[in-house]
Amino acid sequence: MSTPTSSQLLDVAVSAAREAADLVARGRDGAGAHVATKSSPVDVVTAVDAASEELLVRRLLTARPDDGVLGEEGASRNGTSGVRWIVDPIDGTVNFLYDVPAYGVSVAAEVDGSVRAGAVLNVATGELFTASAGEGAWLSAPGRTVRRLHTGRPASLEQTLVATGFGYRAEQRRAQGRVVAELLPRVRDIRRFGSAALDLCAVAAGRVDAYYELGLHPWDHAAGALVAAEAGAVVSGLRGAPVGEPMVVAVAPSVAEPFLDLLAELHP
Ligand code: IPD
């Protein structure tokens, strides 16, 4: 079987993400009824997360039966085609539970270990962020013209609006809180939206200038990091490490150097 193009993979990702988003939207009102916890008492998972992941895997493997899959709720399958799908059935599960309108379905396609296509769909707003390698990042939203995304261009660190997020373990949060306390007086302000995938898309859309978070999983950042990179963001780990090992940073190029230096200083 020949290797699919990035845009063919993106089409599959978008159609699976749309179906999963419909399922998630239908499940919102009863979301509180079936909630369990995972790594800590604040790390929640709903029955809708599981149903969304099951649907995504079924749709992706129906379209491309030889592919591998990795999902937040346990999907894990080695394929034979060189393509692996990385899915987050609801990124921003706490927002979903509370009806805060920032939770999304995230679908990425990796080819031989590098992400080539990604779709992040905010279920609550209908905004769909997409990217395929080398072809830019795009936003389509109900009733609006599709537009190409570009990061912001802050002139300095002091004018940089920064998003971040926190893990679920208390000790990790304490450490992350200390870093934020040091960062806050040195940047424009801090945002905590509650969905890593949407945070990365917010960098792409220039809604924030930078995002960083320690300890994410591949399903949190695979699609969003491609969207951010295709919008021109510098996407990196700390001190030149690969993305996600263990930090994910996406930052507008105009402040990338001082921002990455500052993060390195705050994470000795
Ligand atoms: C979480 C969200 C959150 C981030 C956490 C993630 P989940 O994913 O992306 O913004 O701060 O680190 O685990 O649990 O909602 O899929």
pLDDT digits (tens, 9 = 90+) for 60-69: 999 999 999 9
Which of 42-51, 137-146, 151-160, 240-249 is predicted least confidently? 42-51
Which tens digits make up the pLDDT trace of 19-29? 999 999 999 98
| Residue among 142, 62, 70 nearest 108 (CA) | 70
- The structure tokens listed for 236 are 């990196």
Q: If you measure from the C-alpha of residue 2 to the centroid of ligand 1, how many angstroms do you get, rounded to a whole number? A: 35
Residues 107, 67 share a domain = yes
pLDDT given at position 1: 60
pLDDT given at position 43: 80
> Considering only CA atoms, which residue is closest to atom 5 of ligand 1?
167
> Considering only CA atoms, which residue is closest to atom 16 of ligand 1?
91
Residues 166, 238 share a domain = yes
Residue 196 in contact with ligand 1 by CB distance below 6 A: yes
Which tens digits make up the pLDDT trace of 80-109? 999 999 999 999 999 999 999 999 999 999
Q: What share of the chain in percent tops pLDDT 90?
A: 91
The answer as to whether 199 is a domain residue is yes
Q: Note down the domain range covering 45.
A: 6-148
- Domain containing residue 162: CATH number: 3.40.190.80
- Domain containing residue 80: CATH number: 3.30.540.10
Which tens digits make up the pLDDT trace of 126-171? 999 999 999 999 999 999 999 999 999 999 999 999 999 999 999 9
- Dist CA 58 CA 160 (whole Å): 41
- Dist CA 250 CA 232 (whole Å): 10
User: In terms of C-beta density within 10 A (0-12 exposed, 13-18 middle, 19 or more buried), how is residue 213 classed?
Assistant: buried
The answer as to whether 180 is a domain residue is yes
Residues 247, 196 share a domain = yes
- Dist CA 132 CA 108 (whole Å): 10
The answer as to whether 1 is a domain residue is no
